[in-house]
Chains A and B, each alone.
Chain A
Amino acid sequence: MSRYVSFRDFDWFLFIFVLMICGLGVMEIRSATMHTKFAGAHIKQVYWVMGGIAAMFLVSLFNYQALLDKVHWMYIASIASLVGVILFGQKYLGARRWIKLPGGAHFQPSEWVKLILILAVAKYFADLHHKSELSWSDFLKAGMIVGVPMLMVLAQPDLGTALTYMPIAIMGLFLGGVRAKQALTVLLLAGLLMPIAFLKVLKPYQRERLTSFMNPDADRQGSGYQVNQSLIAVGSGGIWGSSEGSQTHLAFLPVPQTDFIFAAFAEEHGFVGALGVLLLYFIVLMRLTQNAQTAPDRAGTFLVMGVVAVLSFHILVNVGMVVGFMPVTGIPLPLMSYGGSSVLFMFLALGMVMNVRMRRFVN
């Protein structure tokens, strides 16, 4: 069997749509930061995207199967890096999430751990191909693979990123053949543990965000402020968008270039514009799922669907937060929000998807 890999099989269709989303993101970052101290951030974002694209091509060249063979080393390394954060991390705003690298760069391990988890879960479930149904021990093992790093990230504390690990496990379990009984048991258990987690594990500010999400009017000036200003921004955009974009441009909307970029976009471009962005994301997700179906093996499918899971979850939580359906968790909108880590992660993940796709006829 020939190892024929060509960029002809690269998913240019997907790539174009991804670039369109990135372009809208850069545009909105420029508009939102124009009169602030972050002015010029869109240029940096362009560099991040360019760097991301390069990384994507690079990753697509390595055979993902070779990567999967070494995933246990990578997994150990990722756990080690999380330990490193706890030991040597930079404390910023009360949380230890970053490791300062020589040369002034900051490195946030929790982002690339996400990538490793996608690979690890894919590998784990791909190896279970001989089983038609999932046993309880398989279930628990899969849970452990994701659960251990998740708890470590939660301890930083970074609830938002920790939560983004969850869909990887859920997607794996769902496609790996989880039984209804198992799913219900876990859901029941989670339902029982939730109140305890709310009171014991979450920090006060996290609790406040959750409660203010339930009732944003209770404290308009305090913790409900972000939610409220976001709702006002989106709502005042109307159908066609507000030419003044006062919520964004007069800085009522908090962090409009990162977590609330969708709110800023929705204010300036209205329902029509926001729906357009959602459509772009939907096309990307559908295309990714299609790529999963055409993957050469189980591992490839799991890998691509892991990316689908993370991307969908980000969109759900971020856009959900902006329209008031979800609490404020600090999860960025992939490809649009300003930020190197987020952009790099997405392009690396897309690189792996391309990797799988380019090898769909190879075995």
Chain B
Amino acid sequence: MFGRDEKISAIRLTAVQYIILGVFLILTYGLWRLQVMQSDSYALMAEKNRVRNVPILAPRGKILDRQGRVIVDNYPSFSALLLRDSARDLNADADMIAKGLHMDPNELRQRIKKFTAMPQYQPIFLKEDITPDELSFIESHRNELPELDTIMAHRRLYPRNGFMAHLIGYVGEVTDDMLNQPQFELYNPGDVVGVSGVEKQYNNLLMGKNGSRRAIVNSRGREVGRLDETPAEPGKQLKLTVDVDLQIAAEEALEGKNGAVVAMDPRTGEILAMVSRPTFDPNHFAVKISKDEWVKLVTDENHPLLNKAIQAQLAPGSVFKIIMATAGMQEGIAEDMHVNCTGGASFYGRYFKCWVLAEHRTHGVVDVSKAIYQSCDVFFYTLAERLGIERIAKYATMFGLGQKTGVDLPQEASGVMPSEQWKIRNFKQKWYAGETISVGIGQGAVATTPIQLARAIAAIASDGTLRRPRLTSPRDLPANIIPATNVPDEVKIPIDPKSWEIITDAMANVVSPIGTANSAHLQGIDFAGKTGSAQTISNTLKAKMGAVGKSKFKDNGWFVGVTPRRNPEIVVAALLEEGEHGYLAARVASQVIKAYVEKQRRQPTKVASGESKTEIGAVWSSPNADGDGDRLQGGRFYVDLPKKHAVLATAAPGIR
């Protein structure tokens, strides 16, 4: 029984031992490979597993008016986040998530796909401003759907009913197109940026810098600890030059109408109010706008999304006559020119009517002053003929027509100031002398924006100082934010003092009983301006279309007004699309002017310092170098004067 032959061959047993040794060497190599050779990369993966970056959203800066009153604020709201660093099959969960958050599952899947190239630790924003029941869906499915999370975000709260909507603009998620542009290289998908208005213009100022929190999470995505936190940098506030009181007056004046109003301080170029109608509610853009609503806004023939104050390019009509008059006076033609208006005149073989003919009247003999306040077309036809298109274009261009004003808003339109060169360049056609006649009354190819007209008329009333309009004061902005523009802040255009006086006095007569806008007269306010009614199509074409043409293609009404008439504190341009008549626009502008003056009068102004304080109703300003001065400044003033001089300050009669 002890026979060795029964035993198993020792060689085979030894072979087994070697095989086992081989197996263990292979396993040891496996460990070596992972733990020594590739340890660093696996340690990194373990780090990615357990560390999650949770963004801390920075609130956007507030937007304030010139007195620091809040126009645009933020309010807290919750957004639904999808975390992609959790170990979940997101596509499999998509249906459940979509149902709970009331989203389209396919849209959700596409969104997940869109973000696949982004680093895993960056979560996807699924839905903004979720409702309480969507919030509770996320909270109650923490275990089933650990990849869902919420984040508190600050949403934009805009004024209601489209108040100031065009000027402010709105924000939206950064688009793919924007991300591909170099100036937006610092933006990440999902960032909320300004899309239009000052929200866009001053996005870099308003937009804060998101912070982040690095948290330790377990495999179910639950936070079990924190590593560090980079706080968010809130966006800086933007102080506009707009006066909310004036803006309200302008909004009210234009309510229910179709057009634009822009009010500016000609002394600084600061925009005081800017309205465009019809309007839209930017609060609907703050969350995702429904497709129907968007289509409605885009296809509306009154263009509610267009900021007409800077984007409507229309013939200025008779407002252009102020530029004509200035050009004529400066060229020494208009001052002594007298034209007999018989309701029309022939130029280059064509008869041009004066508007007065429609009322079966004539203007008779007119000089430049009467031509302005009575808006006589024949006078300006004649002046245009004598000036020629090149000189007209020179002056109009000097006063900024047919070019961008450089206002700090995106997408400003340039308008058109035609000239011989312009026509050859754009139409490869020679300029016809007859076209000059139409340009003389602001018709033809001339197209201006309300802001251009406001600026040009303000410059003439301000003795030739043309200023760039702006919505912010440089002292309220950090140096790196001040927007770049090639339009100079201020240009001085020489105007003869006599011409200046004649033109501004004539403009004051426009709103007097003898002017074209007598109904816009403001008692006790030194108000001056110019009306304009511009045809949208030619009168002949309109006549051909009959009743349809008459109702569909009504004239656009314009008015640009200032107060006081010389060196004005405010200029208001009003455009009423299809408003028929300039005097209707004048009423809109006069409401804004009135609101301005009344506000000024309510504000106590310090004019002197001394021992005793006296309240008075008005002061006369002292004459200036041009001899223009005996001007009554209404309002409530507090003057501190020595007792012996107190008698000098007396309340002006008739002014409270």
Contact = CB atoms under 8 A, between A and B. Distances in A.
Same complex for A and B? Answer yes
Interface of A: 129, 171, 174-175, 177, 221-222, 225, 229, 231-239, 242, 246-247, 250-252, 266, 270-271, 274-275, 278, 281-282, 285-286, 289, 292-293, 297-298, 301-302, 305, 308, 312, 315-316, 319-320, 323-325, 363
Interface of B: 1-2, 6-10, 12-13, 15-17, 20-21, 23-24, 26-28, 30-36, 38-39, 41-43, 45-46, 49-50, 87-90, 216-220, 224
Given A175-B8, A239-B36, A325-B26, A246 B45 contact: no
7 contacts: A174-B16, A234-B34, A246-B49, A246-B216, A252-B87, A293-B13, A315-B27
A235 B13 contact: no
A324 B2 CA distance: 47
Given A231-B34, A236-B46, A301-B8, A222 B2 contact: no
A252 B218 CA distance: 7
A271 B32 contact: yes
A298 B8 contact: yes
A323 B27 contact: yes
A305 B16 contact: yes
A363 B90 CA distance: 67
User: Counting chain B CB atoms within 10 Å of each CB, which of A246, A271, A292 scores highest?
Assistant: A246
Given A234-B42, A305-B16, A323-B33, A252 B24 contact: no
A244 to B, nearest CB: 8
B43 A312 contact: no
A247 B49 contact: yes
A323 B30 contact: yes
Contacts of B36: 238-239, 271
Nearest to B88: A221
A319 B35 contact: no
A238 B35 contact: yes
Contact of B13 (A271, A305, A315): A305
A220 B34 CA distance: 18
B220 A231 contact: no
A175 B20 CA distance: 15
Given A236-B46, A238-B43, A275-B31, 19 more contacts: A171-B16, A221-B90, A246-B49, A247-B46, A250-B217, A266-B34, A271-B35, A275-B28, A282-B20, A285-B20, A289-B20, A293-B13, A297-B1, A301-B8, A308-B16, A308-B20, A316-B23, A320-B26, A325-B30
Contact of B31 (A234, A246, A305, A312): A234
A177 B12 CA distance: 9
A270 B16 CA distance: 29
Contacts of B42: 231-232, 234-236
Nearest to A171: B16
Given A239-B36, A271-B31, A297-B6, A246 B46 contact: yes
Contacts of A233: 46
Contacts of B31: 234, 266, 271, 274-275, 278, 323
Contact of A250 (B10, B38, B49): B49
A312 B7 contact: no
A63 to B, nearest CB: 15
A222 B89 CA distance: 7
A286 B17 contact: yes
Contacts of A234: 31, 34-35, 42
Nearest to A245: B46
